């Protein structure tokens, strides 16, 4: 981040100088007092369980010479420059918006019920072949994380790819003006967070918040095969709407694809281009992820070779479709999160990769935050697994419902939690097994991997 003076911070945040040196400047912003450099502004955020104001002294000890505060009556280190604001969260957003709008560059915002992180990583991998690309790292996709990503924007960047998550109506709206995207992408509308939002229609409305700031020059780039998203094409909108998909007519269309153990081969049509691309990961869901990245590559004038190099360079984020070997056992670790669409997609990958393995084993746990839709959704996942899995281990209370849907189509076991699943699996795994691990993040199913390492080597 280029430097911002204290005077600029005062103007941007409408703050008042409580103490310190107004001639200073900062080159970074942090909300974690443990992650501070000498030119960082510390912004103490008041959360549900922690008050960042309690760590101002720690931030100073770690090198921060400037902080914001919304609590006047605190005692501050004597040598620290302190700026009072009405709300530290609002001030952080104002500063993030300032930094984003310093630069006249394309910004792509991405959301969706499933696949948005993979899509973000894939889009960034492709665009990085031609442009210096900033992307959201880790899970910095919420009201607190998005500003921190925007603070990383600098004069050398040529394009930015920002992931936007949501749990409630209004979540994306809180940050969309900061991001101010040129293109907004919606991957799909599923059942994630339906416990909080109540209906899939509300989920659709929450996702559409990513389109609110698009102008006549902006583009909504959406999955045209999604029953909810295709409605956007029929609405009166100030922005352009372009679709990607497999079925029907689309701006970017997969005319044909094959999914094998080796991955995907996709024939993609766009305007007068008709090209073949390959991707190292199988599954129909990855066709849509690739179409998003390929289409944006086309939009920004990239060649087939550049786009293909980006597809080849893609690396999944932690615990998302991470495929690796432990001895003679293949593991598909997709334990970061889960919803019905993502569960089906992971089972498809297991089926595709499992052709040359002795047993296809699925360890499937609870999909959380589904409310009254939970039991039916878990039954459906179990039914979907019938022709794709040789051995099913259901983890947790709703994991048992998955087992009921499976209806003993193969060998089935029920266990209480991740540790029990790992201990059981350690006793039964054999060489040439392939194992899928999938559940909501709260189930912490990644812990199973340590047991596989103990039993599989």
CB 164 within 8 A of CB 172: yes
Binding site, residues? 112-118
Helix (H, G, I), strand (E, B) or coil at 174: helix
Rg value, the chain, Cα: 24
Q: How far is CA 190 from the centre of its chain?
A: 15
CA angle 145, 148, 152 (to 5 degrees): 140
Q: How far is the C-alpha of 137 from the C-alpha of 135, rounded, in Å? A: 6
Residue 292 φ/ψ region, left for φ over 0, alpha for ψ in the -120 to 50 degree band, beta for the rest: alpha
**170-173 contacts: CB < 8 A, separation 24 or more?**
170/206, 170/209, 171/142, 171/143, 171/206, 171/209, 172/111, 172/206, 172/207, 172/209, 172/210, 173/209, 173/212
**Binding-site residue set for ATP:** 112-118
């Amino acid at each position: 981040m280029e430097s911002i003076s204290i005077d600029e911070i005062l103007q941007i945040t409408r703050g008042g100088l409580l103490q310190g040196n107004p001639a200073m400047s900062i080159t970074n912003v942090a909300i974690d007092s443990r992650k501070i450099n000498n030119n960082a502004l510390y912004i103490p955020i008041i959360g549900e369980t922690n008050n960042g104001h309690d760590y101002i002294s720690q931030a100073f000890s770690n090198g921060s010479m400037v902080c914001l505060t919304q609590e006047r009556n605190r005692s501050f280190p004597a040598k620290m420059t302190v700026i009072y604001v009405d709300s530290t969260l609002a001030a952080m957003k104002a500063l993030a918006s300032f930094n984003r709008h310093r630069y006249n560059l394309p910004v792509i915002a991405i959301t969706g019920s499933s696949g948005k992180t993979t899509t973000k990583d894939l889009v960034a991998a492709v665009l990085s072949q031609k442009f210096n690309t900033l992307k959201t790292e880790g899970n910095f996709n919420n009201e607190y994380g998005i500003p921190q990503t925007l603070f990383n924007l600098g004069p050398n960047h040529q394009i930015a790819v920002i992931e936007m998550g949501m749990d409630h109506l209004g979540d994306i709206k809180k940050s969309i003006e900061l991001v101010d995207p040129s293109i907004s992408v919606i991957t799909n509308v599923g059942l994630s967070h339906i416990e909080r939002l109540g209906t899939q229609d509300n989920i659709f409305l929450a996702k559409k918040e990513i389109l609110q700031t698009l102008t006549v020059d902006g583009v909504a780039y959406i999955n045209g095969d999604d029953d909810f998203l295709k409605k956007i094409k029929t609405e009166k909108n100030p922005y352009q709407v372009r679709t990607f998909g497999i079925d029907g007519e689309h701006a970017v269309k997969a005319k044909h694809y094959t999914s094998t153990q080796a991955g995907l081969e996709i024939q993609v049509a766009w305007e007068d281009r008709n090209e073949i691309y390959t991707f190292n990961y199988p599954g129909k869901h990855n066709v849509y992820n690739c179409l998003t990245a390929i289409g944006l590559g086309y939009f920004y004038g990239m060649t087939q070779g550049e786009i293909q190099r980006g597809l080849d360079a893609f690396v999944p984020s932690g615990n998302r479709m991470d495929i690796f070997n432990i001895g003679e056992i293949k593991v598909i670790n997709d334990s970061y999160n889960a919803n019905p669409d993502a569960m089906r997609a992971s089972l498809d990958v297991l089926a595709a990769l499992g052709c040359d393995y002795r047993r296809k084993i699925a360890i499937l746990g609870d999909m959380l935050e589904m409310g009254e839709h939970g039991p039916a959704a878990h039954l459906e996942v179990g039914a979907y697994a019938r022709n794709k899995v040789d051995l099913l281990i259901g983890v947790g209370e709703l994991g048992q419902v998955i087992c009921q849907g499976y209806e003993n189509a193969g060998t089935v076991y029920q266990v209480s939690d991740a540790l029990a699943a790992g201990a059981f699996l350690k006793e039964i795994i054999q060489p040439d097994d392939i194992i899928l691990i999938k559940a909501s993040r709260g189930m912490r199913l990644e812990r199973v991997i340590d047991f596989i390492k103990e039993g599989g080597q």
